[in-house]
Structure 1
Amino acid sequence: MPVYHVLLFKLKPGVSQEQIDGFCEAGRQMVGKVPGLRDFQVGPALAVTAHRAKGYDMGVVAILENVEDMPGYGLHPAHREY
């Protein structure tokens, strides 16, 4: 059964769009490198729901094959660098 690992975070002031784009791309590039990582989605709140974001700027959803993949995901060098 897949595991959905969800994170919300706030960006530091002054973060450029180029930095955000690089962050998003680096996350997506972990798929295929980290065993068990099936999909990785990252992006800003949707404009239609941004008023409910409670100050969070970005969200991440990492989909892993199963719960047994979580420890390896957290310790994998690509994830730690990310």
Structure 2
Amino acid sequence: MAQLTPIGLVKILGLVTLIMVIPIVGGTVAGLILDRMLASSPLLVLAGLAVGTLIAAIGIWLLIRAGVRRGYTDGGPGNGT
């Protein structure tokens, strides 16, 4: 199993933050703009938030999958010793 350094952990934390914040805030802002244009408040804000959350969840899943492939975990269940 690959050993993570403190700098590696900070990089991963930064990636997780970007993967979570950008889609959620972007979807919400896009929903706000569209709601003002179409006078459909708060429907599109909620839709943008939901889409942003879905995109963020997919991004986190891809990040975890890439970490497993790099060997940060051995991928086996029950190896918490």
| TM-score, scaled to structure 2 | 0.31
**Higher Rg:** 2
Structure with higher helix content: 2
Higher relative contact order (CA 8 A, sep 6+): 1
Structure with higher strand content: 1
